[in-house]
Structure 1
Amino acid sequence: MRIIISGGGTGGHIYPAITIAKEVAKLVNNCEILFVGTKHGLEADIVPKEGFNFTTIEVRGLERKISWQNVLTLFTTAGSVWRSVQIIRKFKPDVVIGTGGYVCGPVLLAASLLKIPTLIQEQNVIPGITNKILARFVDKIAVGYAEAERYFKKYKPDQIVFTGNPIRPEVMSATREEGQKVLGIKPDRLTLLVVGGSRGARSINTAMLGICKHFNGNESIQILHVTGQSEYNSIVGNIKQSGIELSGDGNIIIKPYLYNMPLALAAADVAVFRAGAVGLAELTARGIPAILIPYPYAAENHQEFNARVLENHGAAMVIADKELTDVKLIHSIETLLNNPQTVANMANKSRELGRPQAAETIAKLALSLKKP
């Protein structure tokens, strides 16, 4: 069995691709997998480290306006389709999978032209421009949210499958006790996990200064705040200037980055998050109630649409980034801190939305496309 997987640009496209690849490898003996990305994207660093074969094409994303750059991009794309045809003819895949990002456009288009079975996986409620285009050509569309189906129905309504979004298996295998031990979290307090993404989020970090002051010394709550590398020193400096002692005996833990995020999720009772599809998939798989602050500059504002799905199902509260203040965030946190039954109900609703087996479902769907 030979599989090509393409997706890149951001971790939201790369990590689902890697997770799906690992599930395919579990299901099939003697499976050979080739990733196709760009030499400039994050995938060029991440994918080889995961042990997968990797090759590149030269392609650029379209600007969301009419411009001469888009004309040049179209010429580049034509060349990347031809390069993709060459890769596919040489590798001879049984199935080609795309997880989003402009790099997978030429690859999936070339596979479709060569009559190779194809599948795209869309993580967000609002599909990306590449997947909207590819929907006309591919054989199956695996969507992370049931609410995304309506954006594809005009193309291939019978080929849309609601699978959920793939998550790393470590997210489910991590235990609460292990997370508490490794991260130094006291087990007798509600644990609030605050993460603004791998690079942090300035608006959330700014609001957290007030939250740390307000809850400092509160024995009912423990706060684990991941600031992102770039803002860690300034946040810690400002907190210390406020008179807050960040010692091992306190209830506030500040980290620049977490390499063991599954352990943090296992230990968390409530989370303050952005609303990227992968992060929300991990939260709902663990059944963690959330206060969501969508990134306002995401393409098509897709993070807000993602967040509203959880809010509408009773699994999360949503605060718009432009409306975020420490006062508003304190109010939301105290609402949950003072109402354990509300937290329990939100946890149940979150768990109902979770799809911890999504990667396996997508892998099986892709393998089912192989021609006899």
Structure 2
Amino acid sequence: MAGWNFVVTGGGTGGHIYPALAIARGLKRRLPQAQVFYLGTAEGLEARLVPEEGLPFYAIKGAGLKRRLTLGNMRALLRAFQGLLAAYRLLGQLSPRVVVGTGGYVAGPVVLAAWLRRLPVLIHEQNAFPGLTNRWLARLAQVTALTFPEAARFLHSRGEVVVTGLPVREEILQVSREEARVHLGLGSEDRLLVSFGGSRGASSLNRAVKELVRHYSGRQGVYLCHATGEAHYASWIRELEAEGVRLAANIRIYPYFRRIADFLGAADLAICRAGAATLAELTCLGCPSILVPYPYATGRHQEYNARALAEQGAAVVIADSELTGARLLSEVERLLTVPEELLRMAQAAKAMGKPEALDLLVDLVIRLAGS
């Protein structure tokens, strides 16, 4: 299959970029002679991440649209048209067999250019409520791949719709629960709570977790590992000290988790936001969770993600506006005192997991290339 070229596109946030990079890596691993090119914007996070992966990167213009008529929207439309012309030209030069889009406004002009050139298109939607770009692009794609089956009802796809799941990091798939617990110094009967708000942290979670620290500090058989986010770490520790809260050995506080696979692999219960990548990792590991969706996520997609797990019995959902230390402690205590419930949640989460997601996506792309 020498000479096979592919183009992947997706940008703006890690939620769009990391799945695109995972698919690119999967294609290169399956087809070592293939060339995979990435189209993004010069301003997006992809401009830094993609070259670090060693992939050829081409920048085109693009801009997000607001949901009302503004002068900014007129400029965005002009940039999108310029991006369309550039993408059309680049696709002619690169001659890909398939174009893969994972969302973000840059995917719009690239996928539209692929449609104009009659190139096969696969798009991947990460969330239970699809983003605006993918809702539109699903009409042009031969294959629309979903992380959550619930997303299908929001799409008007003219092609094939397949639930593949979301590719997760290799270290998540390889982690051993037993080894992770030994690495963290946990006994077989110990219960581990892992809480985090993403790389930047979450103020509401940080506030609520203080109550868990007060309640469980020094309590035998229960461990709490919490990541505050780097920007919050120093001030959060100072606040605990000012409030006279003692951190016993069973309470471990970090700015962020360097090897989150170990923490999630060892966890009996996770407390976190409801980003698609996090939920894909939790379900692959079969980890029960208390989810606090980020309330300002575009289209409230984290709320839809969280509800998808809750409806299957894999998670408990607390709205950010309803999150207090007392409420969080009440839910944690309830689950820890009913191990049968935690076991049912773990089994439900595991049933939702798609550790084979990357292989399924690569299979679909290669099938399109062969067609």
Deviation at 1:22?
1.6
Q: Which amino acid aligns with 1:155?
A: S
Q: Is the 8 A contact 1:285 1:355 kept in 2?
A: yes
For residues 214-238 of structure 1, the C-alpha deviation after alignment (integer angstroms, 9 at most, x for no partner) is 1111112111101111101111112
Superposed, which structure 2 residues align to 1:16-35 within 5 Å?
A: 16-35=19-38
In structure 2, give the amino acid aligned to 1:253: R
Match of 1:116 among 119, 130, 154: 119
8 Å Cα contact 1:275-1:306 kept in structure 2: yes
Paired residue type of 1:327: A
Q: Which residue number corresponds to residue 58 of structure 1?
A: 61
- Alignment partner for residue 44 of structure 1, among 44, 47, 56? 47
Corresponding residue for residue 301 of structure 1: 300
Supply the distance in 2 between the matched residues of 1:24 and 1:56 (Cα, whole angstroms). 21
Task: Give the Cα–Cα distance (whole angstroms) in 2 for the partners of residues 262 and 222 of structure 1.
Answer: 17
Checking the alignment, whether the CA contact within 8 Å between 2:141 and 2:157 is kept in structure 1 is no
User: Quick one: distance in 1 between partners of 2:148 and 2:92?
Assistant: 34
- What SS does the corresponding residue of 2:274 show, helix, strand or coil? coil
- The one-letter amino acid paired with 1:172 is L
Paired residues in the alignment total 368
Work out the CA distance in 2 between the residues paired with 1:365 and 1:46: 25
- Which one of the candidate residues 74, 80, 91 is aligned to 2:94? 91
Q: Secondary structure at the match of 1:194?
A: strand
1:141 corresponding residue in structure 2: 144
Return the offset for 1:347.
0.2
Tell me the distance in 1 between the aligned counterparts of 2:292 and 2:298. Answer: 15
Q: Distance in 1 between matches of 2:65 and 2:47?
A: 20
Equivalent residue number for residue 190 of structure 2:
189
Amino acid at match of 2:283: T
Distance (Å, rounded) in 1 between the aligned partners of 2:276 and 2:144: 16
TM norm structure 2: 0.95
Give 1:240 shift.
2.8
Secondary structure of the 2:7 match is strand
Paired residue secondary structure (2:92): helix
For residues 221 and 362 of structure 2, the distance between their equivalents in structure 1, rounded to whole angstroms, comes to: 43
Is the counterpart of residue 212 in structure 1 residue 213 in structure 2? Answer: yes
Aligned residue identity for 1:369 = L
Q: Deviation string for 1:151-174 (max 9, x for gaps)?
A: 12x332x51111111111211101
Distance in 2 between residues matched to 1:72 and 1:160, nearest whole Å: 34
Q: Deviations over 1:291-340 (max 9, x none)?
A: 00000011111111110111111100000000000000000110111111
Q: Residues 95-106 of structure 1: matches in 2 within 5 Å?
A: 95-106=98-109
1:336 aligns with 2:335: yes
| Cα pair 2:217 2:247 within 8 Å, conserved | no
CA distance in 2, matches of 1:13, 1:146: 18
**Partners of 1:24 and 1:360 within 8 A in 2:** no
Per-residue Cα deviation, 1:196-231 (whole angstroms, up to 9, x for no partner): 111111100111112211111111211110111110
1:326 is aligned to 2:325: yes
2:344 is aligned with what amino acid?
Answer: N
1:230 aligns with 2:231: yes
Three-state SS of the structure 1 residue aligned to 2:67 is coil
Post-superposition CA distance 1:9-52 (Å, at most 9, x none): 11111111111112112222301111111122111222222222
State the alpha-carbon separation in 2 of the partners of residues 182 and 231 from structure 1. Answer: 26
> What's the CA shift for 1:290?
0.3
Letter in 2 for 1:234: S
In structure 2, list runs of 5 or more residues that go unmatched: none
Within the alignment, does 1:345 sit opposite 2:344 as a pair? yes
- Give the conservation status (yes or no) of the 8 Å contact 1:24–1:364: no
How many angstroms does 1:259 deviate by? 2.6
Residue 365 of structure 2 aligns with an amino acid whose one-letter code is A
For 2:87, the aligned partner's letter is S
Instruction: Give the alignment of 1:218-297 within 5 angstroms.
Output: 218-246=219-247, 250-297=249-296
CA contact (8 A) 2:144 2:157 kept: no
In structure 1, what is the Cα distance between the partners aligned to 2:317 and 2:68? 30
How far off is 1:66 after superposition?
2.1
Contact 1:212-1:239 at 8 Å conserved across structures: no
Contact kept, 8 Å, 2:272 with 2:292, in 1: the verdict is: yes
AA aligned to 1:37 is: G
- Taking the aligned partners of 2:84 and 2:252, their CA distance within structure 1 comes to 49
Q: For residue 338 of structure 1, what is the amino acid of its counterpart?
A: T
Contact between 1:33 and 1:52, CA under 8 Å: does it hold in 2? yes
In structure 2, the residue corresponding to 1:254 is in which secondary structure? strand
Find the counterpart in structure 1 of residue 10 from structure 2. 7
Kindly, what percent of the aligned residue pairs are identical?
A: 41
Distance apart, 1:181 and its partner CA: 4.8
Cα distance in 2 for residues equivalent to 1:252 and 1:231: 17
Distance change (3 Å), C-alpha of 1:349 and 1:70: same
